[in-house]
């Protein structure tokens, strides 16, 4: 979202639109204030007074639109929208060239070229084995979609720089108050448990295909397994994932 484009909702606090305009400026970021609330700053210098001090309602409105992501060194910045994509020339049906934000091995979000028209799971679901049966069954596809939804929810909150296996095991807030990052942390824990259920040999392919949208051959190269072994490992992992979710 650019500084000149401000989305609002009927439930927005009055200061939310102004805060979005400020947050859309280059270098703008938000940090928690020692005395309470959230300071919206336009420079990296913490010694200066914040340009605005936001209450909880305005902060939550910014978490919703435009979305916040972790800032190196602490605090949050506005989430950058995905760039426009374009359809590739004729001869490549179903392929839409573009970029996606995916989580790298160190837990940071990076942009990678991707086919926005079809995921690796959808591609495999259309393939058939030697006996003419679909390579992935409905339960395996449903399990992959559920894992992806949880992964997207885990990445939607303010805390985006954690690996699945590095997430805290217990929340910090009281049961009466849901913090902006609590839902994403809970989803991250579910992702960690689901990947663990896939087993050590298969979890890498499940993570690459379902969360990172990595093509099978690229995942094989990245994980150092022989060509054509990736599909079998992915299918075995998705079968275990479906059992973990009790699907089918």
**Side-chain-facing half-sphere of 38: CA atoms under 13 Å:** 24
Kindly report the number of other CB atoms within 10 A of residue 159's CB atom. Answer: 20
Q: Are 92 and 36 in contact (CB under 8 A)?
A: no
Token pair, residue 237, equals 């992992």
How far is the C-alpha of 230 from the C-alpha of 50, rounded, in Å?
51
37-to-25, 43, 59, 99, 195 alpha-carbon distances in Å: 21, 18, 8, 35, 36
Q: What are the tens digits of pLDDT across the range 147-164?
A: 988 887 777 655 444 444
Q: What are the tens digits of pLDDT across the range 198-238?
A: 999 999 999 988 888 788 888 888 888 888 888 899 999 99
Q: Across-strand partners of 29?
A: 41
Q: What are the tens digits of pLDDT across the range 38-74?
A: 999 998 888 888 999 999 888 888 888 888 888 877 8
Q: For the packed helices 229-245 and 138-154, what is the interaxial angle rounded to 10 degrees?
A: 80
CA proximity to 247, closest of 125, 150, 152, 137:
137
* Spans of all domains in the chain: 16-78, 117-245
Q: Across-strand partners of 103?
A: 109
What pLDDT does 170 receive?
Answer: 35
Token pair, residue 124, equals 């495999």
pTM of the model: 0.49
Residue 8 has pLDDT above 50, yes or no: no
Residue 176 has pLDDT above 70, yes or no: no
The residues, any chain, with a CB within 8 Å of residue 164's CB and separated by 6 or more, are: 154, 188, 191, 192, 195
How far is the C-alpha of 204 from the C-alpha of 233, rounded, in Å?
9
> Is the bond into 66 cis (omega within 30 degrees of 0)?
yes
What pLDDT does 110 receive?
Answer: 58
How far is the C-alpha of 182 from the C-alpha of 176, rounded, in Å?
12
How far is the C-alpha of 148 from the C-alpha of 211, rounded, in Å?
6
Highest mean pLDDT among 6-15, 206-215, 236-245 belongs to: 236-245
Q: Model confidence at 9, in pLDDT bands (50, 70, 90)? A: very low
How far is the C-alpha of 30 from the C-alpha of 52, rounded, in Å?
9
How far is the C-alpha of 134 from the C-alpha of 223, rounded, in Å?
25
């Amino acid at each position: 979202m650019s500084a000149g484009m401000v989305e609002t909702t009927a439930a927005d606090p009055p200061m939310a639109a102004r805060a979005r305009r400020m947050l859309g400026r280059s270098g703008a970021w938000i940090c928690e204030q020692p005395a309470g609330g959230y300071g919206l700053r336009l420079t990296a210098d913490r010694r200066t007074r914040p340009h605005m001090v936001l209450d909880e309602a305005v902060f939550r409105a910014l978490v919703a639109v435009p979305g916040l992501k972790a800032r190196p060194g602490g605090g949050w910045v506005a989430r950058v929208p995905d760039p426009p994509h374009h359809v590739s020339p004729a001869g490549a049906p179903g392929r839409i060239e573009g970029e996606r934000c995916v989580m790298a091995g160190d837990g940071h979000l990076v942009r990678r070229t991707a086919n926005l028209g079809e995921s690796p799971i959808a591609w495999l679901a259309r393939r058939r084995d030697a006996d003419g049966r679909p390579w992935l069954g409905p339960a395996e596809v449903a399990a992959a979609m559920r894992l992806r939804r949880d992964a997207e929810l885990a990445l939607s909150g303010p805390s985006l720089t954690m690996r699945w296996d590095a997430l805290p095991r217990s929340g910090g807030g009281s049961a009466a108050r849901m913090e902006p990052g609590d839902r994403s942390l809970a989803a991250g824990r579910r992702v960690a448990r689901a990947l663990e259920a896939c087993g050590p040999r298969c979890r890498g392919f499940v993570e690459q295909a379902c969360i990172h949208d990595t093509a099978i051959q690229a995942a094989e190269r990245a994980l150092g397994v022989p060509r054509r072994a990736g599909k079998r490992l992915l299918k075995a992992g998705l079968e275990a994932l479906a059992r973990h979710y009790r699907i089918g």
